């Protein structure tokens, strides 16, 4: 890869990571992910904003691009650390070895993390909210944006060129041939939509309150470019991704999209036997319905659809007096991600004894679900069960439709 020019003296230095590993050890990345760092060359000083993890050749890719920009030893003055998560800092020791005199600037809370993660204390300095750094004809300004999505997170803003280096905020999964939002093919644009929403739901959703606070804090900051650490750089319409994230964050409290996610699992087909009645009832009101089978569908993709949907239908059998284990895991992920307040139905079969409903009730209470009905039956469903399921689903859809 070659460095991408964002503005005079401002470059994206990126690596395209493949799909073999799980992001954060949890989330699949079938289309890979971008690791973006940025170089700002002022008339007097040069800064590198964020680093990479030495993952799938990322460090070599970044070093080659730094060489192409003639950023060698003695020519890098500052490393700005917006966020300490290892995908942005994992290669810190190698980078510091190459630039032993460089100064590391970060938030106050990041200083001890650098010590504990990488045993580095020399030339590390914290910056304050609103503090500026002069590079000559370029000025960087630092904004503390805690819990987007770690407590030490900040963003860096280039005043002269109105570029916001936002780290994990406004990012997405996926690898893209072009650097900018206006360079994408139609296929890449479609991928960007789903991979931005999945990234948000998987990585950021738990911190939606802080996302909204951060966006409010930056409301009066003029933006020509939004440059995140994952995904594309937004220059055609930089406010689009900010408003998009604002909308995604608002799904925590609602309103959400008038859609329903049906998350279901079945052992021997008896729970599945009621699925079509549920789906038919929902679709009778014309609502979009996302049907997601567990465990065949990874929770990453389940969370993406559930996060945006006002309605949630859970279908699972009893397994040894408790909830079917794969569904328990999915509900645990949804609870951790602060999925709350959905209008909900639950259906499922049991064999010699029930028990799944008791565990589901615990999740329902914790997630403040508005449960509108349950269809639970022994063995296979009767025609009466199917009619009840259809009627409940139709009523749920009608209420969501409004």
Segment 321-354, tens digit of pLDDT: 999 999 999 999 999 999 999 999 999 999 999 9
Percent of the chain whose predicted confidence (pLDDT) is above 70: 100
Note the pLDDT tens digit of each residue in 149-204: 899 999 999 999 999 999 999 999 999 999 999 999 999 999 999 999 999 999 99
142/72: higher pLDDT: 142
Residue identified by tokens 């959703």 is 205
Domains defined along the chain, listed by start: 4-250 (3.60.15.10), 257-401 (3.40.50.360)
Residue 274 pLDDT > 90: yes
Residue 73 pLDDT > 80: no
User: Is-contact 179 4, C-beta < 8 A?
Assistant: yes
Residue identified by tokens 């979009």 is 288
Q: What angle do CA 55, 167, 73 make, to 5 degrees?
A: 60
pLDDT of amino acid 21: 84
pLDDT of amino acid 20: 81
User: Is-contact 152 217, C-beta < 8 A?
Assistant: no
Q: Long-range CB contacts (< 8 A, 24+ apart) of 123-126?
A: none
Residue 1 pLDDT > 90: no
The residue-averaged pLDDT of 278-289 equals: 98
Q: How does DSSP classify residue 3?
A: P
Q: What whole-number distance in Å separates Cα of residue 339 and Cα of residue 342?
A: 8
pLDDT of amino acid 95: 96
User: Is-contact 129 153, C-beta < 8 A?
Assistant: no
The residue-averaged pLDDT of 49-72 equals: 94
| pLDDT confidence bin for 292, thresholds 50/70/90 | very high
pLDDT of amino acid 72: 78
Supply the pTM of this predicted model: 0.95
pLDDT of amino acid 36: 98
Alpha helix segments (H runs only) across 183-274: 186-199, 208-217, 238-250
Q: Which residues pair with 357 in a beta bridge?
A: none
The residue-averaged pLDDT of 39-47 equals: 98
The residue-averaged pLDDT of 307-320 equals: 97
How big is the chain, counted in residues? 402
CA-closest candidate to residue 50, choices 107, 9, 7, 2: 107
Window from 12-21, 250-259, 370-379, 387-396 with minimum mean pLDDT: 12-21
């Amino acid at each position: 890869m070659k460095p991408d020019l964002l503005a005079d003296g401002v470059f994206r230095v990126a690596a395209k990571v493949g799909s073999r590993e799980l992001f954060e050890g949890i989330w699949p990345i079938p289309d890979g992910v971008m690791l973006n760092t940025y170089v700002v060359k002022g008339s007097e000083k040069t800064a590198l904003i964020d680093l990479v993890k030495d993952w799938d050749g990322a460090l070599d890719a970044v070093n080659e691009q730094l060489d192409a920009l003639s950023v060698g030893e003695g020519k890098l003055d500052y490393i700005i650390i917006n966020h300490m998560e290892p995908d942005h800092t994992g290669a810190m020791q190698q980078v510091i070895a190459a630039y032993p005199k460089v100064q590391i600037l970060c938030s106050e809370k990041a200083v001890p993390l650098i010590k504990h993660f990488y045993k580095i204390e020399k030339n590390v300095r914290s910056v304050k909210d609103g503090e500026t750094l002069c590079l000559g004809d370029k000025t960087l300004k630092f904004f503390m944006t805690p819990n987007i999505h770690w407590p030490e997170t900040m963003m860096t803003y280039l005043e002269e060129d109105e570029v916001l280096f936002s780290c994990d905020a406004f990012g997405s999964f996926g690898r893209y041939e072009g650097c900018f939002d206006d360079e994408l093919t139609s296929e890449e644009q479609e991928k960007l939509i789903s991979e931005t929403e999945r990234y948000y739901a998987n990585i950021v959703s738990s911190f939606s309150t802080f996302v909204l606070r951060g966006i409010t804090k930056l409301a009066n900051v003029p933006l020509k470019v939004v440059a995140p650490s994952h995904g594309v750089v937004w220059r055609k319409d930089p406010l689009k991704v900010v408003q998009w994230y604002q909308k995604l964050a608002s799904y925590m409290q609602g309103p959400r999209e008038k859609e329903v996610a049906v998350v279901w699992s079945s052992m021997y087909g008896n729970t599945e036997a009621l699925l079509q009645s549920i789906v038919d009832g929902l679709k009778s009101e014309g609502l979009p319905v996302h049907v997601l089978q567990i465990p065949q569908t990874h929770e990453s993709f389940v969370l993406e659809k559930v996060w945006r949907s006002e309605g949630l239908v859970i279908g699972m059998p009893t397994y040894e007096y408790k909830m079917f284990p794969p569904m328990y895991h999915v509900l645990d992920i949804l609870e951790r991600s602060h999925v709350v307040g959905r209008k909900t139905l639950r259906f499922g079969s049991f064999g010699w004894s029930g028990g799944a409903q008791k565990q589901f009730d615990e999740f329902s209470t914790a997630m403040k679900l508005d449960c509108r009905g349950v269809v639970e039956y022994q063995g296979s469903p009767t025609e009466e069960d199917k009619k009840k399921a259809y009627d409940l689903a139709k009523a749920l859809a009608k209420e969501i439709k409004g």
